[in-house]
Structures are given as C-alpha cells and as structure tokens.
Chain A
Amino acid sequence: MLGALIIVFREAIEAGIIVGIVMAVTQGVPGSRLMAGVGIVAGVVGAGLVAAFAGALASALNGVGQEMFNAAILSLAVCMLAWHNIWMASHGRELAADARKLGQEVRSGARSLFALAIVVAVAVMREGSEIALFLYGLVAAGGTTASDLLVGSALGLAAGVALSAVTYFGLATIPPRRLFAVTTGLITFLAAGLAAQAANFLQQAGLAPVMSDTAWDTSAILSDTSLVGRVLHTLIGYSDQPSVLQVVVYAITLAVIFALTKAFAPRVVTRPPQTPLTQNS
C-alpha cells in the first residue's frame, strides 16, 4: 500500500504544485475558480485519453509520438506561462492601482485565465496519464493485493491535493503587494523548468542530438526523485543529471521571459516616495 501511495503521490506532486500556484496567482479574479475547475477536468479527461491510447501514441511518428506529444504540450505550457507573465506585467499594476479599470480589462483578463487553464490542464494530463496507467496495471493484475494498492493510490492522490492546498494557502499568506513579484518569479522559474523537460523529450526523440552530455551529477547529494528533489524539480526545474542542452534551454527561457516581462511593463509607473536606504557594504 505504501508503495502505491508513494508512486501516485510522486506523480501528483508536479500537478499539485502547479494548480496551487495558478490558483494563488488568479486569486480574486472573477471566473478564476471556474478556470481552475475547467483546467482540471480537461486534464483528467486528457489523461484518460492519453493513457487509453498510450500504445498508439508511442508508435506514432516513427515511434517518437510520445516524446513529441510531451515536448509539444510542455512547450505550450511554457508559452502560456510566459504570456501570462507578460500580460500581468502590462496590466497587473493598473488593475491593482485602479479598480474602476477592471471592467474594461475583464475581457483580456479572461484570455489570461484561459492561458492558465491550459497550463493546469497540461500539468494534470501529463501526470494524470501516468497515474491512470499505474492504476490500470493494478486492476489488470488483479489478485488479493489490488484493493490494498488502490487504497494506497487514493491516499497518494489525496496527498497530492493536500500539497496543492499547502501551496495555495502558503502563497495566500504573502501580502498582496508582494504577491505579484513573487508569483511572477515563481512562474518564470516554473516555465524554465518545463522548457528543460521539453528539451529532454526532444533529445530522447533524437531530434536534438546536441549537447547531450551530462552537465552535472548531484544525485548523491539530492536525488530529484526524493520528495524535496521532486518539489524543487517542479518549482525551479532542479534536475540531478541534466544534459548540457537542458541547462542551456533553462537559462535561455529564464532570460527571455524576464526580458519580455520587463519590456512589456508600463514605462511610466507611479513610484512611492523614495525612502533613503540604509547602506551597509
């Protein structure tokens, strides 16, 4: 039972954290709960389909269908996260500063919610399909231990949901004026980590046969399959044996999103009166 719990929980960590972050980011935005719900439902349905057609997917595109599919949906999530950050940079401050503007911005706000719904759906679908296959295997294998394993799986899933709640309420304790900066940073690192995963799938498909050497091996210090490693893997893209290409893609994604977020931020901002800073050097 414990084994099943751990396997399911491990798969649920990434989706759980991403859902928690997205819900915190959109806290208080009209329609955000609906957005998260639609994203989760779409993700679960997608996971079922991916699991059901795993065989067909694996043999598609000369046998690299699974890799291409993963790389494509991860890239989609990266772009949606980047787009959200840019949108928030160009509108978020206005929204916070002037609630009367909210009415006219709701329509483009809805588009930002749509982008995040896609992110939620992708996260749930990717991890969910592996859980679905694992559960299918348990049921198919039958035997006396199957029900025990299913209980373990249910507990693992519940732990994933709990992690989502911890992430959400943890972020909710951050004062609203700080939250924007924190979530912008979180989303940027999250996106960079997903981009590195996408790069890995392209390498696995043989489409990026460059820089495939291992950049470093820190598996002895912090394995990315451990709980802490897995959480860091989601939050900042930590990997204990990344390829050089993954590191390069990670760095480029970080730089591009930061640069675009800055470029699209309003040039004229109302600054609070400058308070002298204590200098200690």
Chain B
Amino acid sequence: MTRTPPLSLLALAIALVAGAAAPAIADDAATVQITLKDHKFDPAESTVPAGKPLVIQLSNQDATPAELESKELRFEKVVAGGGAITVKVRALKPGRYRFFDDYHEATTQGFLVAQ
C-alpha cells in the first residue's frame, strides 16, 4: 500500500497541460527583422515602439548555429546555421536593451531602442 500518487498520473497531467497550452498567437505586435551574418547583427541597433509587444525575426545567414539571448529582454533561443527564428518580446518601457549570441557574447551583440 502506498499513499504516494502514481507516477503515471503525474506524467499524464503534464501531457494534458502541455497539450492544452496550444500556441495562442496574438496580436498587434511590431515586427523587427534582424540578420546575422559573419557573426554580426544587422542592423546592430533597431528602434522599436515602446509599450507594444514585439516579434523579432532573426535570419541566420552563417553556416554555424547561434543562440540569440538577452537577459533584459528575457529570451534565449537557438537558431540553426542558415536557419531562422522568431522571438516574442513583452511590451517594453523606453530604453536601450542589449541582446547577443551566447556563443560569441563578447563580439556578437545588438540593441533594441524602445521609444
């Protein structure tokens, strides 16, 4: 006799939660397009509207994978060599926000300027 909930029940619960959370794509988001080439972001600095959710579309034109990451913008996402990703960003307060490639943090960085 065990009073512990069965493991299978927990696994089922997780599957249900994961399944129920179908991607609900909103919105009136502003889109920012950025290209990564030769380990440089282009444009290195983008001006975006403040107070509005954003979608960053990153196209990686290098053959090597990169990890787009930002602590202030709170995302981290792998992009394959020659691949593309989209990243959602919350509505920002005015300011300058840094993002970078986690594999080349010192040299590969860019900024969003929210106005």
Alpha-carbon gap, A186 to B78, bound state (A): 30
Closest Cβ neighbor of B66 among chain A residues: A137
Is A14 positioned at the interface, with any CB of B under 8 Å from its CB?
no
Q: Is B47 an interface residue (CB 8 A)?
A: no
A133 touches B90 (CB 8 A): no
- A7 in contact with B103 (CB, 8 Å): yes
Complex partner residue of B7 from A54, A61, A111, A202, CB under 8 angstroms: A111
Residues 1-15 of chain B, each 1 if its beta carbon lies under 8 Å from chain A, else 0: 011110100110110
Q: Assign chain A's interface to a size class.
A: 35 or more
Q: Is the CB of A58 within 8 A of B24?
A: no
Interface residues of B in 16-54 (CB under 8 A from A): 17-18, 21, 23-27, 53
Contacts A111-B7, A141-B64 known; list 20 others, CB within 8 Å.
A7-B103, A54-B78, A54-B80, A58-B79, A58-B85, A63-B85, A68-B18, A71-B18, A79-B11, A80-B10, A137-B64, A140-B64, A202-B21, A203-B74, A206-B26, A207-B24, A209-B26, A212-B74, A224-B71, A241-B74
Q: What residues make up the interface of A, taking CB atoms closer than 8 Å to B?
A: 3, 7, 51, 54-55, 58-59, 61-64, 66-68, 71-72, 75-76, 79-80, 83, 86-87, 90-91, 108, 111, 114-115, 129-130, 133-134, 136-137, 140-141, 200, 202-207, 209, 212-214, 219, 224-225, 240-241, 243, 264
Tell me the B residues contacting A by CB distance below 8 Å: 2-5, 7, 10-11, 13-14, 17-18, 21, 23-27, 53, 63-67, 71-72, 74-88, 90-91, 102-103, 106
